[in-house]
Structure 1
Amino acid sequence: MYEISSDVFSQLHIDVARNATDDFNLFHDNKHWHKIKDNPFQGPITLGFQLESLIEGKLADFRRTADELDLIGSHQLNFSNYQFSFANVIKAGQFVEVEIKPSQFKDSPTPVLSNRIMVKSDGNLALLGYKKETSEPLFLNSPNFSDWGDLAAQADRSYIGGGYFLKRKFMTTSNAKNFLCGCLRDQTEYFDELQDKVIFPEMFPCALLSSALLEKAKKKGHDFEKNPMVYTSHKISIDRRQLSELKSNDALHILIKPADNSAEHDFGESSTTALDYECYGVVSQSALLFRAIISLAPLELILKSLG
């Protein structure tokens, strides 16, 4: 099975997605994108997590059509893993083509169901990577949560043990619905008050990472106009068992720290360097909802690489 679909994001979709996730990055702002130094994009661009949520929805349809849900259940493939590299931006009004390659299933040494994915914008490569369903997360180890104490008692936007920055968000159905709409997805597949249905999509809690990273950068005194940063890659593992337990207004504790190779070049530094962040999403009883390695690079560095 092989699938290609085409969609178009409007500026309203961009605004709805960024408002639903509190993403105040100037790259998405219709009024202020021009304030970014040497911005080559000449207008607001879509959110990385917005595009990944669109892919999530396409893959969910793909799985149902290919009768792969029983395979996922029988092998207890409880983790959704996304790994994407960003090659180009997507702007409002551009055609977005999502290409899903045929599924590959391997039962040894551990079961894995995977698909290669390519996204093009007006014929140009924008994103490349894969999604894998696995029985264990593919990215990062599990930290010792007992060393961190009660996260609910820690102050929002504070630094806790191990150098982690804590950002507290809440899982509201209204924001999740709006995020789905901004990602060109059908909210009724996940939420229905008359049927008492509340199912948070995989990418929504992960999308709140952007807000957390921006808040961390702001607290560090990062200059968003003079030293803009862009995503270069995302590596994300989501525990669907924990996701299924989420309820409206549940707290999500997002923990972020620079990876070892980025520890000396955190936000707020004037040096031009790429940054990797280790990120965790923790819910009730210190359960780990997601883990992610988020990579960014200064726009200046990207422009230099393009000559």
Structure 2
Amino acid sequence: MNQTSPEFFSQLHIDIARNSTDDFNLFHDSRKWQNINGNPFNGPITLGFQLESLIEGKIADYRRQHDEEKLIAEQGLNFSNYQFTFANVIKPGQAIEVDIKESQLKHEPSASLSNRIIVKADGKLALTGYKKETAEPLFLGQPDLSRVGELKIQPDRCFLNNGFFLKRKFMMTSNAKNFLCASLRDQTRYFDELQDKVIFPEMFPCALLSSALLEKALKWLHDFERNPMVYTSHKICIDRQCLSQLRSNDAVHILIKPAADCAAHDFGDLNATPLDYECYGLVNNNNALVFRALISLVPLELIRKAMA
């Protein structure tokens, strides 16, 4: 077991995380959280990807301390997989404890290195899940992206013929640095202009998904005050080799569409049900997949009923 000393996010950390990823969700706004109909949280809350970035940093420290980076390279475990379920929100000032369970190395049916993760806020469960290193992606392994075409010539925030919503973002080192600081992490491990060091952290391009999802909802004229949605789980897979090739100003083409069994329940009405979204981050001229994710959301009304 590896349990770190309690830390906390301030509202400033939340604002920096929002600004660096263009996340305009009202739940994180120090003023507009009050506009959300029936908001049970009584104040702004931290970003899910911000918390996951903190976890990413803790696991990276764990890997270094236990000399596991060499093992990952030797076994060709190039895919970084996260699966998290959100049990509760985290508010500014709450003491956050990240508990990383002992690494489990398996060779069958294929090599993997995994750790269970438990996060508590003020002693109460906030998140559970795991981080797993594998040679192949655990989620959305064979997506059909044959018809996406040349994404760089498509207009930003458009719907493609195959049903995907396209949001174009850019890998800015300044935003990544701010996101690291907002996640209570040391930016100098990743960026150093004097040494020409540019290493984008795993969770940064994935964190741009929130902005893409919100802009997709805007296209559907979704009412964020009357029918807010919250994350319930994230399943994320990052190709570390692809990520390592990214440089400042590189475009990331984010593709989003409801999962097959959710297509009839997309954003747009007050009777929305839980939603699962397939999300992909494509880069370079060959549309290489830097990340893939299954993002699950649920209407706040269902959360309120569960809390009653």
Scaled to the shorter chain, the TM-score interval is over 0.9
1:208 aligns to what?
208
1:236 aligns to what?
236
Q: Secondary structure at the match of 1:294?
A: strand
2:36 aligns to what?
36
* Aligned mates of 2:302, 2:274 — CA distance in 1: 8
Report the Cα offset of residue 99 of structure 1: 0.4
2:127 aligns to what?
127
Q: Secondary structure at the match of 1:56?
A: helix
**Identical counterparts, % of pairs:** 70
* Aligned mates of 1:306, 1:41 — CA distance in 2: 11
TM-superposition CA deviations, 1:123-178 (whole Å, max 9, x none): 00000000000000000133343311100011100011320000000000000000
Matching of residue 290 in structure 1 with residue 295 in structure 2:
no
Q: Secondary structure at the match of 1:52?
A: helix
- AA in 2 matched with 1:240: R
Q: Secondary structure at the match of 1:67?
A: coil
* Aligned mates of 1:3, 1:73 — CA distance in 2: 25
2:198 aligns to what?
198
Report the Cα offset of residue 109 of structure 1: 1.4
- 8 A Cα contact 1:258 1:275, kept in partner: yes
Q: Secondary structure at the match of 1:94?
A: coil
Report the Cα offset of residue 4 of structure 1: 3.1
- 8 A Cα contact 2:266 2:272, kept in partner: no
Report the Cα offset of residue 299 of structure 1: 0.5
Structure 2 unmatched ranges of 5 or more: none
* Aligned mates of 1:288, 1:134 — CA distance in 2: 16
Matches within 5 A, 1:40-79: 40-79=40-79
Structure 1 unmatched ranges of 5 or more: none
TM-superposition CA deviations, 1:235-294 (whole Å, max 9, x none): 000000000000000000000000112111101122131010000000002100000000
Report the Cα offset of residue 217 of structure 1: 0.3
* Aligned mates of 2:117, 2:43 — CA distance in 1: 26
- AA in 2 matched with 1:270: L
Q: Secondary structure at the match of 2:146?
A: helix
Q: Secondary structure at the match of 2:247?
A: coil
- 8 A Cα contact 2:84 2:233, kept in partner: yes
TM-superposition CA deviations, 1:22-80 (whole Å, max 9, x none): 00000000021100001111111000000000000000000000000111000000000
1:160 aligns to what?
160
Report the Cα offset of residue 304 of structure 1: 1.0
* Aligned mates of 1:81, 1:141 — CA distance in 2: 12
2:281 aligns to what?
281
* Aligned mates of 2:106, 2:10 — CA distance in 1: 39
* Aligned mates of 2:84, 2:173 — CA distance in 1: 27
TM-score normalized by the length of structure 1? 0.98
- AA in 2 matched with 1:61: D
Matching of residue 264 in structure 1 with residue 257 in structure 2:
no
- AA in 2 matched with 1:184: L
1:87 aligns to what?
87
- AA in 2 matched with 1:300: E
- AA in 1 matched with 2:176: A
- 8 A Cα contact 1:272 1:300, kept in partner: no
Aligned residues: 307
2:305 aligns to what?
304
Coordinate RMSD, CA, aligned = 0.9
- 8 A Cα contact 1:145 1:286, kept in partner: no
Matching of residue 173 in structure 1 with residue 173 in structure 2:
yes
Q: Secondary structure at the match of 2:110?
A: coil
